[in-house]
Structure 1
């Protein structure tokens, strides 16, 4: 009974914070403070799983949240009459995880098919990568302005010093900036740097995302 009461109280608190956030102009400090409070409260209630693309999906979810909680910029605006904030976020998060899973399966199938063609003909055929990220609004949400400034300035030069072995140009600063809206797809980055998507994605998850998360926590975003 207490759990049910606790969940209901949390939902009401989040609903009030949404109303507060949306009562302030986009980009204002007051709206950003309310959005940060919502993120803090909602994060422990979000779906969690230990899959390779979970952090990417979570990042997309928070971007979607900032862009559509008060105004419909890249999707349907949040409607409190249809469900709680966490229900809305979890639905989006699971869809992104499903997209990543499907894309991974397609990529693996394409790779196997390509290898089969090579082994049979001795010539490498064109491999069409099916991964194509969701379109993103070019306007950076207020909550990500600090991330953009932090990664661009890189005052400690830590982000530039952490790079894929043998490829200093493929560093955390570059990848974090390129994955912010309007984000570059892994397919485009792979073609640009001449590295496999799996290498770039794995490096991003192991080296870049932990630093991004650490910054977000230090600023109270997470």
Structure 2
């Protein structure tokens, strides 16, 4: 029986190849129980190499609640991986998508509200502004994301694209609140459920983001059909056309020089013209390799910043 090579956690292709070989050995008819257990443990070890949660602190061994969760996830993975699938689906085992799904399933089975509460209390136990608290906060945020227990308030009231923009901003605000106000968490309140505290803040942040969105919609003057209703001479470009032309020319280079930090291509001129031409937030987010919330927040602030300038120029 061949042994799995030592892999870098980011070497996903080699890991997938190795996992497939291990599964082929695992599904051999003459595979003894001892060999089977050995192979399953190797598979679990490889799968957990790419975990985003329960990471070691400065290379040290896991401790406390982090070790407890990690050990329980390992046991869950062993249960999930022990052969029970028909050989017809063996090709699906070990793939990158399979690794992601089996990890998420295992972590979600383990990360109940009590575990999340223990992670929050662990944060409170570390000195504010210390490296250990920073580590614990990152672990807590990752655990919340993986757990699948975040609420989705008012989802039916928005289009999918708009909801994603508002929700991501609300999530960012909620996670920031958790990181700065974790000591305000009282484990005896909210029916003693940690996620009640988190989701209460998330819902409030969502409503606040909706209020901001009203301002955002008001400042999207160059996307409004109302511009076309303003009477203009027959041979004169419409107000909307004048506005678009001015943004394109950008004579003072104000719009091109206003961009998202570290990404000059994601500037106000390009983003505004993209929105005018009908590009979706998702398309532009992929184009610039930036999250929708970052892109839309920058766009909203820029609209407010340049509104008076554009109104004067046209």
Q: TM-score of the superposition, structure 2-length normalised? A: 0.34
Structure with greater contact order relative to length (CA < 8 Å, sep ≥ 6): 1
> Which of structures 1 and 2 has the bigger CA Rg?
2
